[in-house]
Structure 1
Amino acid sequence: MTEPDATAKRKRMSSGQRREDFITKAIAFFAEEGFESSTRGLARQLGVTQPLLYRYFPSKDDLILAVYDAVYVNRWRPEWEEILTDRSTSVEERLNTFYRVYTDVIFNREWMRIYLFSGLKGADINRRYMQLVRQRILEPIVAEARAEFGHPPSPATDSEIEFAWVMHGGIFYYGVRDLIYDSALETRKDRVVADAVAAFVAGLKIKLAKSVEAEHASEAQRTD
């Protein structure tokens, strides 16, 4: 009796396995070609028909959403938020630990290229992820800094969030220069993270103190 062909065996996937295979190949495709490419071109790259692809993803946006979930949502680690809120160490120590492990995940060529292509196309991936970063990273950072510096709990202002974005964006763009443009000057990622974190913590401490002074001055004027 003839043994079934190995290629035929590989093609016998369950519906779920085939869907995951499509997503994996779509990630590589979009990372190289961007989001302007047609689903026809993607189907050709996958070696399947366009109607078959549409059986799993009714529209290109559905496929892009699946790629977003695979690349960004599913790679998010719950322990990251635990690191940021662990008050057994200083905010600066926590940020150094957090950004070391966080960049181990996002400093990935596919992750970076898909993010950049998404921004150029105006796809929703960037907006979704930036909102995730604000809620789960930047707002907790400001809240923890307030607590450490002796300020009362208060929702982070847009100005404070922008200040945190400067640090976060600087670290991110170091990864872009390293992985996409091959132009990073410093080869030690931990040194870059430590410098960015130290500058942010020192600057935020001054910024929060000035905000408190301004609030006190405003209150004094109202009571005069």
Structure 2
Amino acid sequence: MPRISDQPTDLEGPLTSGRTRTKARDGLPRRLSSADRERSIVTAAVTFFAEHGFEGQTRELAAILGITQPLLYRYFPSKDALIERVYQEVFVGRWDPFWEQLIADRGIPLEERLIRFYQSYAKIILTPEWVRLFMFAGLKGLDFNGRYLRLLRERVFERIAEELRIALRRPSIADVPVSNLEIEMIWALHASIFYLGVRQFIYRLPIDGNVHDVIAAQVRTLLGGIAAVLPETP
């Protein structure tokens, strides 16, 4: 019998994935293990906060799960603790270290590397829960956004800046520090891809064309103009 964490979320149907009981083979309900119950709470919390924002009340979440609010707090002692777990689940847990290796793999042409990276990255971020949670966190003033964007700058943006310089035979970042303008140009590419999710999951507007084709065009646009802001070789 599948565990509760294997059931579909409300992105595939009604929000019922967090139910804390499932059926044993004899058809009678059985209690979840502590690990499965915790997982069911986190899974439901991701969907719940993506729908209602972080103003959503834990008593409503508990009712959806079919448990009491005190039981929910046995697993997460505060709403802030649950929200932090949602951050770890969605923004940290879905990060793929391979992206960093791909960006730096000079055995692959830079254009291909960037297209492959952003197409893979888009599969993670262009989802209703990722986009909506990120937007709600910003509106609520949580530190999700700041932490995640620092992660992006350190692990992605500065790596891309270095690879752009190497490809265009410009000084390494080790010799000439990356400029704010370079980072802004990479930001523009990154933001344009995130905006595809905003259009779809916030504005409810369909994306015109194939996402992979759009990403490839955006990467080529960056590569076609970035030379103007890179430092010149002495």
Matched, 1:8 2:32: no
Partner of 2:29: helix, strand, or coil?
helix
Partner of 2:232: helix, strand, or coil?
helix
Matched, 1:170 2:189: no
TM-score (norm 1): 0.86
Question: Which residue type is aligned with residue 8 of structure 1?
Answer: P
Aligned counterpart, 1:126: 145
Partner of 2:169: helix, strand, or coil?
coil
Distance in 1 of aligned mates of 2:207 and 2:60? 37
Distance in 2 of aligned mates of 1:19 and 1:176? 30
**TM-fit CA distance, 1:78:** 1.5
Q: CA RMSD in A?
A: 1.9
Tell me, yes or no, if the aligned pair for 2:90 and 2:130 is still in contact at 8 Å.
yes
Distance in 1 of aligned mates of 2:110 and 2:206? 27
| Matching of residues 202-217 of structure 1 within 5 Å | 202-208=224-230, 211-212=231-232
Aligned counterpart, 2:68: 49
**TM-fit CA distance, 1:114:** 1.0
Aligned counterpart, 1:197: 219
Of residues 147-156 and 161-170 in structure 1, the stretch that sits farther from structure 2 once superposed is: 147-156
Distance in 2 of aligned mates of 1:197 and 1:93? 9
Q: 1:85 aligns with which of 104, 109, 118?
A: 104
Distance in 1 of aligned mates of 2:142 and 2:49? 12
Aligned counterpart, 2:160: 141
**TM-fit CA distance, 1:157:** 2.2
Q: What percentage of residue pairs aligned between the two structures are identical?
A: 45
Q: 1:160 aligns with which of 174, 182, 186?
A: 182
Distance in 2 of aligned mates of 1:79 and 1:125? 22
| Matching of residues 65-104 of structure 1 within 5 Å | 65-104=84-123
Spell out, residue by residue over 1:73-98, the C-alpha distance to the aligned partner (whole angstroms, 9 max, x if none). 11111111111111012222111111
In structure 2, relative to structure 1, the CA distance for the partners of 1:185 and 1:56 (3 Å cut) is closer
User: Where does the alignment leave 5 or more consecutive residues of structure 1 unmatched?
Assistant: 217-224
| Matching of residues 98-117 of structure 1 within 5 Å | 98-117=117-136
Question: Which residue type is aligned with residue 153 of structure 1?
Answer: S
Kindly report structure 1 stretches of 4+ aligned residues shifted beyond 6 Å. none
**TM-fit CA distance, 1:48:** 1.6
**TM-fit CA distance, 1:194:** 1.4
Distance in 2 of aligned mates of 1:202 and 1:4? 61
TM-score (norm 2): 0.82
Higher relative contact order by CA 8 Å / sep ≥ 6: 1 or 2?
Answer: 1
Question: Which residue type is aligned with residue 159 of structure 1?
Answer: L
**TM-fit CA distance, 1:176:** 1.7
Distance in 2 of aligned mates of 1:148 and 1:4? 60
